[in-house]
């Protein structure tokens, strides 16, 4: 109980807008409830008022873009489906009482199959998934109810009107009460990711190249870990960029703000994070060893230190420039300094007779290849653990029939390829 | 139009189960529609029959696990919320006509705020997000309708029963008509990811170390790219593992199948893919250059070729072993051969006077650091492009007030740090 409370408090502290959003949902629901309490309104809509309540709960999302996308999807899909559903009803009644059931059932079946299949299309799934589902739902509801209640027109009309009211209430609350914009979230996330990468460079400089910093070792270790989340933000960023396009201009985000460019920056940031991940696997494994090796070469250490520091500064400036929405200034000097240090580093490597530039690249490739092999070994161990946990049979049992053949070629060099073929 | 048709055909060809799922939704919807057409059933439930239709459309997911999770969430949440909503109604009517409205409104507000906030909890979001939303929805509906229709008990009872019928129909169709299991999807995805990594190793051996393969260059380039999707499957895998836990034992997946172990394998696979990404940035940039450098050292090339080939074989065996659910056999020999080749490679490096093992690691770290700098430069360029597209102001304009101060320290070494402070 105490743990849960502590967790909830942390959730609220991490982002107070979460608490705010919860109250926004409460407010919107209270507003829409009044439709029920005010007798003249209720008399007009009857039990259809329920759709307004449903709509508010279903479409009020954390960001304005989310609410807008869902609201538009819901409203447009309902309109289209109601119109088509009524058309289907009018065609179906021409076929007599029994024919009506069969025709309606057939229409609903066809619409359900087509709509469900369309939802697999990436383009639809990304933006209109909710709309297609609502279309299928409304078409079925209107089609089916028309069989029992021949006042289908009124039903469809009321459903449409109450859903529009629900969408309007959700939108007003979402936009007017301290709005959270998806675009701004994306904007801040892109900046935050750059800062995390800068943190790594700071930690690397401190821990590995002995740059003096004012933080203790625990904090350095944390700096070295924070990049990991950058690797997994693609889905969030794609979705935010998608929602941001629906949002009206607000604050400093004008019409046609280049949201795609954020995705480009994020994509390079992820590649950066991948390189950091590769680098991490080296420094974590051989911390002291390589430090000793490097101690002999003061110039190299100095250059690396400089590279870390200047790149870190440049990344911090970039993050700050995105956050403040100002043109880059300052990062150029830092990047130039980092670039200069890389040149110095290459010369030092040459002078110290360590290696040529080309050899350096060869070594890296060779070295990464070695690392990949050890990664493959880890995968092998994990699969063995899985085979044990999930009681996998040994392949001999599975391939009992082909066992003889396997044995016969066991002395052959190509035995492993045979095993692969058998298993496939 | 032709493009769309071709895309749809590709969707169906890529995974024919998508077409199957679409028909399953159509069938389930047709079955649930008959509730409306059969007069005695409709007389029993009345317009509540609508909830059965809604339920089928909303919960019938692609995988059995998805349908089961959503169905259970919906059924349990409706039961709890209906009970609580009726409790709230009974308390509210004690307060007289006006008090009833205020009390009901208050209850609904509180439930909405708490439920919305709970949805931010990762533990809840992962598994019970849909349930919490349905709880909030049902509580509001029952609470609000009770104000107009004092037969709340019947309403809640009918809603509950029709939803149960909807869940049952969706589950029966999902499980009995050629089921798609989330667990099996996860299982196959894990294997497919390993195969993609093996593909990269095959492509690397062919393109970079000149290993002879029977495929043409276009196909090799494709082999070198296929690893990219491995980097972004985390969200899918987490969700599948989550759904798989709800699924009953089926086929060769027994009760308590170790789904978590798949996530462990995937996590190492992603690290593997990150190393591959780092390696890619080297080989793509300096293809011919390094090949020339390596040509002088036949032993090294041979060893690298061997490493690629054996690791590739090992990964292929691992993928096949997961797919066939057999214990690893054969991969051990391949991994041993790869390991032996890495030892030979290290000795060769030493013999050719290229470098010592420690130097190799140092070089890699240095080299990755250089790569990180050039990645940072790319980020800088992308941000500059953003600043141009989004009409960012120059920071001078923004910090007009502090401009003087900035200039004053411009000759100072620490100028960049000042800029950062100002921007933050």
Q: Which of A4-18, A60-74, A84-98, A317-331 has the lowest mean pLDDT?
A: A317-331
Q: Which of A294-303, B297-306, B367-376, B414-423 has the lowest mean pLDDT?
A: B414-423
Give yes or no for A331 touching B (CB within 8 A): yes
pLDDT tens, residue by residue, B165-178: 999 999 999 999 99
Contacts of B243 (CB under 8 A, 6+ apart): B63, B65, B66, B68, B69, B182, B183
Question: Is the confidence at residue B148, as pLDDT, over 80?
Answer: no
φ/ψ (deg, to 5) at A253: -95, 105
Higher-pLDDT residue of B315 and B415 is B315
pLDDT of residue B182: 94
SS3 A409: coil
Distance from CA of A218 to the nearest CA of B (A): 22
**Residue A411 pLDDT class (50, 70, 90 cuts):** very low
- B235/A231 CB distance under 8 A: no
pLDDT of residue A284: 65
CA dist A136 and B255 (Å) reads: 36
Say how many CB pairs under 8 Å bridge A and B. Answer: 490
- A265/B382 CB distance under 8 A: yes
Contacts of B275 in chain A (CB under 8 A): 277-278, 281, 368, 371-372, 375
In angstroms, how far is the first alpha carbon of chain B from the final one?
A: 51
In angstroms, how far is the first alpha carbon of chain A from the final one?
A: 51
Give yes or no for B192 touching A (CB within 8 A): no
Q: Helices H, strands E: what count in chain B?
A: 20, 1
Question: Is the confidence at residue A410, as pLDDT, over 50?
Answer: no
Distance from CA of B171 to the nearest CA of A (A): 17
Give the nearest chain A residue to B410 (CA atoms). Answer: A330
Alpha-carbon dihedral sign for residues B249, B252, B255, B260: negative
Question: Is the confidence at residue B420, as pLDDT, over 90?
Answer: no
**Residue A362 pLDDT class (50, 70, 90 cuts):** low
Give the nearest chain A residue to B155 (CA atoms). Answer: A47
Alpha-carbon dihedral sign for residues B137, B138, B141, B144: negative
CA dist A410 and A405 (Å) reads: 9
SS3 B119: coil
Higher-pLDDT residue of A399 and A334 is A334
Mean pLDDT over B127-151 rounds to: 86
Give the nearest chain A residue to B311 (CA atoms). Answer: A373
Mean pLDDT over B358-372 rounds to: 68
DSSP H or E run through B327: strand B326-327
pLDDT tens, residue by residue, A188-203: 999 999 999 999 888 8
CA dist A229 and A112 (Å) reads: 39
Question: Is the confidence at residue A99, as pLDDT, over 70?
Answer: yes
Give yes or no for B368 touching A (CB within 8 A): yes
CA dist A409 and A418 (Å) reads: 8
Closest CA to A18 of A62, A64, A49, A60: A62
Mean pLDDT over A389-408 rounds to: 54
Distance from CA of A114 to the nearest CA of B (A): 7
Residue with tokens 């028309």: A146
Closest CA to A170 of A93, A280, A71, A258: A71
Q: Which of B282, B349, B379 sits opposite A265 (nearest CB)?
A: B379
pLDDT of residue B292: 59
Higher-pLDDT residue of A292 and B129 is B129
DSSP letter, residue A349 = H
Q: Which of B323, B339, B350, B372 to mutate to test the interface with A (most CBs of A within 10 A)?
A: B372
Question: Is the confidence at residue A419, as pLDDT, over 50?
Answer: no
Q: Which residues are bridge partners to B253 per DSSP?
A: B250
DSSP letter, residue B394 = P
DSSP letter, residue B326 = E
CA dist B302 and B300 (Å) reads: 5
φ/ψ (deg, to 5) at B258: -75, 75
CA dist A374 and B342 (Å) reads: 10
pLDDT of residue A291: 56
Mean pLDDT over A321-345 rounds to: 83
Q: Which residues are bridge partners to A394 per DSSP?
A: B327
Mean pLDDT over B145-155 rounds to: 72
pLDDT of residue A396: 65
A residues 259-288 closer than 8 Å to B (CB)? 261-262, 264-265, 268-272, 274-279, 281-283, 286
Give the nearest chain A residue to B261 (CA atoms). Answer: A386
Give the nearest chain A residue to B418 (CA atoms). Answer: A330
Is the distance from CB of A235 to CB of A267 less than 8 angstroms? no
CA dist A221 and B298 (Å) reads: 41
Give yes or no for A21 touching B (CB within 8 A): yes
Give yes or no for B213 touching A (CB within 8 A): no
- B395/A113 CB distance under 8 A: no
- B355/A377 CB distance under 8 A: no
Higher-pLDDT residue of B44 and A241 is A241
SS3 A338: helix
Q: Which of A338, A364, A409 to mutate to test the interface with B (most CBs of B within 10 A)?
A: A364
Higher-pLDDT residue of A91 and B419 is A91
Q: What is the pTM of this model?
A: 0.83
Q: Which of A4, A214, A321 to mutate to test the interface with B (most CBs of B within 10 A)?
A: A321
DSSP letter, residue A149 = -
**Residue A295 pLDDT class (50, 70, 90 cuts):** low
Residue with tokens 């004690």: B94
Contacts of A385 in chain B (CB under 8 A): 261, 264
**Residue B354 pLDDT class (50, 70, 90 cuts):** low
User: Which DSSP string corresponds to B210-268?
Assistant: ----SS-HHHHHHHHHGGGGGGG-HHHHHHHHHHHTTSPPBTTB-TT--HHHHHHHHHH
pLDDT > 90 in chain A, percent: 33
Mean pLDDT over A354-361 rounds to: 57
DSSP H or E run through A404: helix A403-408
CB atoms within 10 A of CB A284: 9
Q: Which of A34-43, A275-284, B36-45, B282-291 has the lowest mean pLDDT?
A: B282-291
CA dist B358 and A287 (Å) reads: 11
Give the nearest chain B residue to A52 (CA atoms). Answer: B141
Closest CA to B308 of B273, B275, B341, B332: B341
CA dist B175 and B186 (Å) reads: 18
Give yes or no for B104 touching A (CB within 8 A): yes
Q: Which of B55, B92, B145, B380 to mutate to test the interface with A (most CBs of A within 10 A)?
A: B380
Contacts of B331 in chain A (CB under 8 A): 380
pLDDT > 70 in chain B, percent: 83
pLDDT of residue A424: 24
- B355/A373 CB distance under 8 A: no
Give yes or no for B53 touching A (CB within 8 A): yes
Alpha-carbon dihedral sign for residues A412, A413, A414, A419: positive
pLDDT tens, residue by residue, B185-236: 999 999 999 999 999 888 888 877 776 666 677 787 888 888 889 998 999 9
User: Which DSSP string corresponds to B98-112?
Assistant: HHHHHHHHHHHHHHH
Question: Is the confidence at residue A80, as pLDDT, over 90?
Answer: yes
CA B109 to chain CA mean position, Å: 34
Average pLDDT score over chain A: 81
Higher-pLDDT residue of B412 and B156 is B156
Q: Which of B373, B384, B388 to mutate to test the interface with A (most CBs of A within 10 A)?
A: B373
A residues 110-169 closer than 8 Å to B (CB)? 110, 112-114, 116-117, 120-121, 133, 136-137, 140-141, 144-145, 147-148
Nearest-5° angle of CA B96, CA B98, CA B101? 105
Higher-pLDDT residue of B158 and B419 is B158
- Long-range contacts of residues B291-295, Cβ cutoff 8 Å, at least 24 apart: B291/B208, B291/B210, B292/A358, B293/A358, B293/A359, B293/A361, B293/A362, B294/A362, B294/B209
Is the distance from CB of A108 to CB of B29 less than 8 angstroms? yes
pLDDT of residue A137: 92
Q: Which of A19, A320, A354 sits opposite B423 (nearest CB)?
A: A320
DSSP letter, residue A226 = G
Contacts of A78 (CB under 8 A, 6+ apart): A134, A135, A138, A159, A160, A163
DSSP H or E run through A260: helix A259-285
- A398/B324 CB distance under 8 A: yes
CA dist B275 and B281 (Å) reads: 10
Distance from CA of A95 to the nearest CA of B (A): 16
**Residue B423 pLDDT class (50, 70, 90 cuts):** very low
pLDDT tens, residue by residue, B396-410: 665 544 433 333 333
CA B141 to chain CA mean position, Å: 33
Mean pLDDT over B120-147 rounds to: 90
Q: Which of A323, A376, A412 to mutate to test the interface with B (most CBs of B within 10 A)?
A: A376
Closest CA to B313 of A364, A409, A413: A413
CA dist A335 and A313 (Å) reads: 9
- B327/A361 CB distance under 8 A: no
Distance from CA of A357 to the nearest CA of B (A): 9
Dig out the tokens for A421 from the structure.
């073929």
Is the distance from CB of A201 to CB of A308 less than 8 angstroms? yes
- A53/B141 CB distance under 8 A: yes
Q: Which of B170, B390, B417 to mutate to test the interface with A (most CBs of A within 10 A)?
A: B390
**Residue B411 pLDDT class (50, 70, 90 cuts):** very low
pLDDT of residue B407: 37
- A22/B114 CB distance under 8 A: yes
Greatest mean pLDDT among A358-372, B257-271, B346-360 lies in B257-271
pLDDT of residue B181: 94
Contacts of B345 (CB under 8 A, 6+ apart): A366, A370, B300, B303, B304, B307
- A277/B271 CB distance under 8 A: yes
As for the ipTM of the complex, it is 0.83
Give yes or no for B421 touching A (CB within 8 A): no
CA dist B176 and A313 (Å) reads: 60
A residues 371-410 closer than 8 Å to B (CB)? 371-373, 375-380, 382-387, 389-399
Give yes or no for B98 touching A (CB within 8 A): no
């Amino acid at each position: 109980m105490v743990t849960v409370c502590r967790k909830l408090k942390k959730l609220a502290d991490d982002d107070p807008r979460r608490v705010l959003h919860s109250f926004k949902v409460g407010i919107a629901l209270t507003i829409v409830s009044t439709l029920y309490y005010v007798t003249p309104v209720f008399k007009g809509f009857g039990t259809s008022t329920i759709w307004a309540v449903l709509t508010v709960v279903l479409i009020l999302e954390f960001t304005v873009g989310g609410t807008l996308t869902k609201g538009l999807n819901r409203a447009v899909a309902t309109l289209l489906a109601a119109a088509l559903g009524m058309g289907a009803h009018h065609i179906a009644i021409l076929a007599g009482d029994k024919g009506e059931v069969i025709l309606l059932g057939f229409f609903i079946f066809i619409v359900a199959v087509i709509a469900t299949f369309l939802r697999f299309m990436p383009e639809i799934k990304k933006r209109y998934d909710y709309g297609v589902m609502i279309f299928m739902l409304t078409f079925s509801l209107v089609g089916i109810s028309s069989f029992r209640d021949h006042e289908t027109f009124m039903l469809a009309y009321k459903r449409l009107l109450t859903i529009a009211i629900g969408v309007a209430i959700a939108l007003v609350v979402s936009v007017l009460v301290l709005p959270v914009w998806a675009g701004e979230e994306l904007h801040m996330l892109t900046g935050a990711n750059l800062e995390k990468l800068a943190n790594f460079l700071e930690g690397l400089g401190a821990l590995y190249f002995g740059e003096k910093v004012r933080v203790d070792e625990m904090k350095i270790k944390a700096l070295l870990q924070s990049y990991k989340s950058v690797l997994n933000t693609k889905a969030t960023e794609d979705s935010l960029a998608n929602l941001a396009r629906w949002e009206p201009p607000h604050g400093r985000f004008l019409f046609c703000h280049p949201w795609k460019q954020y995705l480009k920056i994020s994509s390079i940031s992820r590649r950066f994070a991948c390189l950091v991940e590769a680098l991490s696997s080296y420094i974590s494994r051989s911390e002291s060893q390589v430090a000793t090796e490097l101690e002999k070469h003061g110039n190299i250490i100095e250059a690396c230190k400089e590279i870390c520091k200047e790149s870190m500064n440049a990344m911090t400036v970039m993050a700050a420039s995105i956050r403040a929405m100002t043109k880059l200034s300052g990062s150029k000097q830092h990047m130039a300094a980092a670039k200069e240090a890389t040149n110095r580093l290459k010369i030092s490597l040459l002078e110290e007779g360590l290696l040529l530039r080309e050899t350096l690249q060869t070594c890296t490739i060779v070295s990464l290849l070695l690392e990949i092999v050890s990664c493959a070994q880890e995968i092998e161990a994990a699969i063995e653990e899985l085979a044990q946990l999930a009681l996998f049979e040994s392949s001999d049992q599975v391939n009992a029939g082909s066992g003889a053949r396997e044995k016969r070629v066991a002395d052959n060099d190509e035995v492993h390829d045979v095993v692969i073929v058998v298993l496939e």
